[in-house]
Amino acid sequence: MVSALGLTGVLGGCGVGGGSSDVTLRLVAADYGDSAANSSEKYWADLVERYEAEHPDVKIDVSVHSWSDVDRKVREMVDAGDPPDLAQIGAYADYAAAGKLYKAGDLLSIPVQADFLSQLSTAGEVNSVQYGMPFASSTRVLFYNKELFAEAGITPPKTWEELAAGAEALKAEGVKYPYALPLGPEEAQAETMQWLLSGEGGYTDITGTYSIDSVQNVQTFTWLKDELVGKGLTGPVAPGKLDRAAAFAAFAAGDVGMLNGHPSLMGMAEKKGVKFGMVPTPGVDGESPSTLGVADWMMAFNQNGHRDQVGDFLDFVYSEENVLDFSREYNLLPVTNSASRAMAASDEDKDLKPFLDQLPASELYPVGNTSWAAVNAAVKKQIGKAVAPNGSPEGVLGGLQATATRAESAE
């Protein structure tokens, strides 16, 4: 997701009347914009104005915070005993496990809850009960620089072997980052999972149990270390020091042959005049069977009550029109079936089609595990060492598995 520029603000409601029956709902939301011009404040201001016009006895106060601040802001409010009614942030499971959230089924009308994409609904569950309501989603594809590929005489890879051979050809042409491998602390968990999935592994096995040091995962990181990093095909910055934002900026500057990217990279590259293509992630023997899906979450805290008003407002938030408006404004994928169908059928959204096509087969982080926060933090800190010159993929992945096991037993 795009990290915003620390913009904060409060949108006051404009409800009429003022009797004791009036209800004010507080929503804390993340900013998906990259400037004041497209701050999420504008999206919410329009939506709230339309809602309040129809519901004069309900006022919605929205405060929008940058991605670097919003989760902490909500945590501070909860710790102070004053949670918002609604929070639209990155993770919900620890609040659900602590009994602080409404169940989605106690808030949403049946058609609205049933409209969520099934894998996103499932990812919003703790112990098979949905508490997290998906708000935005995206998938990853392999971006490549068409001009650099043409100069190197190569075509987009479908397998790891083709990716490595293409990176060799790009390096021979003097490309700074033949393949950009951002395993730095900003978003290492995403690049890591993308590679694990393409190697037919993942953070968890089919039962949902952590399997970070599985045979497949060790083989994947051994291949990365030996065939890409060890051969100097990942650029001048060590992968463990390369953040995703820096890798995206380098791609937009024309210095990267290929990298995994999400939809916001399209706009960055277009602004800089980089001609790029997008293909599904390469896998061991062909196109990767699944790709990384990412979702951000809406949740409703139960401390203040107002369940009916919260549910009615959320039904409005998740209308097809509002979901489409938000998705189009920020180059994100809709979280509902109705908006996904509308986007797939619309010429206006053809740029997002490669990502939309990936969504049904996407896999999400194990966000329903309250242990994921600790595992996620450890991956960001440690995974770069697995591909370092003296690094041990088996040792690093084994250490992460031990962290995961400890975090699970602490739940």
Tens digit of each residue's pLDDT, the chain (411 residues)? 433 333 333 343 333 333 345 899 999 999 988 777 888 999 999 999 999 999 999 999 999 998 878 888 999 999 999 999 999 998 898 899 999 999 999 999 999 999 999 889 999 998 889 999 999 999 999 999 999 999 999 999 999 999 999 999 999 999 999 999 999 988 899 999 999 999 999 999 988 899 999 999 999 999 999 999 999 999 999 999 999 989 999 999 999 999 999 988 998 899 999 999 999 999 999 999 889 999 999 999 999 999 999 999 999 999 999 999 999 998 899 999 999 999 999 998 988 988 998 888 889 999 888 888 889 989 999 999 999 999 999 999 999 999 999 998 876
Kindly give the residue spans of alpha helices, DSSP state H, lying in 109-178.
110-115, 118-123, 146-152, 160-172
What does the alpha-carbon distance between residue 78 and residue 81 come to, in Å, rounded to a whole number?
5
Q: Name the segment(s) of the chain with CATH classification 3.40.190.10.
A: 9-138+294-364, 141-280+371-409
pLDDT of residue 69: 85
Alpha carbon distance 296, 74 (integer Å) = 14
> Residue 173 is which amino acid?
E
Fold of 9-138+294-364: D-Maltodextrin-Binding Protein; domain 2 (3.40.190)
pTM reported for the whole predicted model: 0.83
- From the list 48, 195, 20, the residue with the least C-alpha distance to 203 is 195
Query: What single-letter amino acid sits at 338?
Result: S
276-279 and 141-145 as β-strands: parallel, antiparallel, unpaired?
antiparallel
Compute the distance between CA of residue 366 and CA of residue 353 in angstroms, rounded to an integer: 25
Q: What's the pLDDT score for residue 16?
A: 34
Q: What is the pLDDT of residue 21?
A: 56
CA distance 111 to 373: 31
**What dihedral do alpha carbons 241, 246, 252, 255 form, nearest 10°?**
-30
pLDDT of residue 411: 64
Give the C-alpha distances (Å, rounded to integers) separating 75 from 82, 101, 131, 342: 10, 13, 17, 36
- pLDDT for 335: 94
User: Which architecture does CATH list for 141-280+371-409?
Assistant: 3-Layer(aba) Sandwich (3.40)
pLDDT value of residue 18: 37
Helix (H, G, I), strand (E, B) or coil at 296: strand
